[in-house]
Structure 1
Amino acid sequence: MNAVEPIRDILVIESIQKDLKKESLKYHAFFNVGIYTGLRVSDMLRLKVRDMRGEEIKIRQKKNKKWVMLPIHPDLRRAIAEYIADKDDDEWLFPSRQRKQKLKVKRELDRSTVYKMLNKVCRKYGLRSIGCHTTRKTFGYHLYMANEKNIALLMEIFGHSDPSITLRYIGVTQDTINKAVLKFKYTS
């Protein structure tokens, strides 16, 4: 099994956003929620429309049962506005087309559907190490790079106990290390 990597190239992210918006507002919204919040797929799939209408997302994480509260980025709000405009607050944010058999109730999107969608759109751009954690890792990678490499911030968001776990998780590779070492200098 190959390791899942973040999407490092901003231009590729923008292209994926455009492609997904043309294909499906739901998948476009899903991708944006992932790259702007860093939530696990299992947590994103449990969101209701009402969770995106306020100023922040507050959710109890499925994996570790910890509460996480994240502000809704203005770019995320714009990216999903059209998608949630005509939806009821109590609907799943990402509903499946399938229904639960006995109750005839809409259910949330399935994780395997998310995996297929991400792989399909990312392969167009030559990305191969894609999985359900791609959007979470993309969020982490870019937040790390944009915030003066503040690893403590990401450790808190992701619930990691050691910086090496977080760095490995977000895909800080040997190329990134080499670039950083070659870029710094002691003289001006």
Structure 2
Amino acid sequence: MQQNHSFRAGRRSYTIFQVGKATLLRVSDVMKLKKTDVFNLDGTVKQTAFIHDQKTGKGNTLYLKPVQQDLMIYHAWLIQQNMNSEWLFPSTSRPDRPITEKQFYKIMARVGDLLGINYLGTHTMRKTGAYQVYTQSNYNIGLVMHLLNHSSEAMTLTYLGLDQASRETMLDQIDFG
């Protein structure tokens, strides 16, 4: 019974992860999203959303098309669950408030335990998304830097875990003829 209770809001947790991964937002910014940030009045998903990052105060335009389908399914789930809240990701116990970072951390830790992975955390979605953009954009560090709202390429490379040893390992794989 406890397992079912732990994941009763699985659709919400999944959507949080997908939105965080696609927008590269910090978990604090994902949790503070409101329905009006991402949905039009008719319930359709906006193409972009504009927020200010909590940590830096910098403006950030979010491209939502990659998670449009997930958000549409989630919107229907919110209606089905009768979750009437201004928050995109409301707490199940206090819908007038967003889910907390601490609660999402507990969810991620539980998922990690079930999968036998001990390094899942609240930054996993942001780092995963950043690394996917980096590798699938032909290693365009400038793009990743911009999406993460970082002020330097060095900061972004460190965030991605691409230190000197990692770069040397990558260079070892290249045939220089």
Q: TM-score range by the shorter chain?
A: 0.7 to 0.9
Instruction: For residue 32 of structure 1, report the CA deviation from its aligned partner.
Output: 0.6
* Aligned residue-pair number: 162
User: Does structure 1 conserve the Cα–Cα contact (< 8 Å) formed by 2:131 and 2:160?
Assistant: yes
Q: Deviations over 1:116-163 (max 9, x none)?
A: 111111233332222221111111111111111111112222232332
**Can you give the 5+ residue segments of structure 1 that lack an aligned partner in the other structure?**
1-20, 100-104
Deviation at 1:178, TM superposition (A): 4.9
| Cα distance in 2 for residues equivalent to 1:173 and 1:41 | 24
| Distance in 1 (alpha carbons) for counterparts of 2:101 and 2:116 | 22
Query: Alignment partner of 2:92: what SS?
Result: strand
1:67 aligns with 2:53: no
State the partner residue of 2:88: 93
Distance 1:61 1:131, change over 3 A: same
* C-alpha contact 1:97 1:106 (8 A) present in aligned 2: no
In structure 2, what is the Cα distance between the partners aligned to 1:130 and 1:90? 28
Once residues 149 and 36 of structure 2 are traced to their aligned partners in structure 1, the CA distance between those partners, rounded to angstroms, is 25
Distance 1:164 1:146, change over 3 A: same
Percent identity over the alignment? 31
Whole-angstrom distance in 1 between the partners of 2:114 and 2:166: 24
Q: CA deviation at 1:176?
A: 4.7
3-state secondary structure, aligned to 1:95? coil
- Counterparts of 1:55 and 1:146, CA distance in 2: 21
TM-score by length of 1: 0.75
1:79 and 2:70 correspond: yes
User: How far did 1:97 drift?
Assistant: 2.4
Higher relative contact order (CA 8 A, sep 6+): 1
d(CA) in 1 for partners of 2:9, 2:164? 35
- What is the alpha-carbon root mean square deviation over aligned residues? 2.6
Q: Which runs of 5+ in 2 are unaligned?
A: 1-6, 39-44
- What is the CA-CA distance between 1:179 and the residue it aligns to? 4.5
Q: By percentage of residues, which structure has more strand? A: 1
CA distance in 1, matches of 2:164, 2:119: 16
The equivalent residue for 1:37 is 23
Contact kept in structure 2, 1:50 and 1:89, CA below 8 Å: no
State yes or no: 1:150 paired with 2:145. Answer: no
Which residues in structure 2 correspond to 1:163-174 (within 5 Å)?
163-172=153-162
- SS of aligned partner of 2:121: coil
SS at match of 1:96: coil
Aligned pairs (5 A) from 1:1-188: 24-52=10-38, 53-74=45-66, 76-85=67-76, 87=79, 91-99=86-94, 106-172=96-162, 176-187=166-177
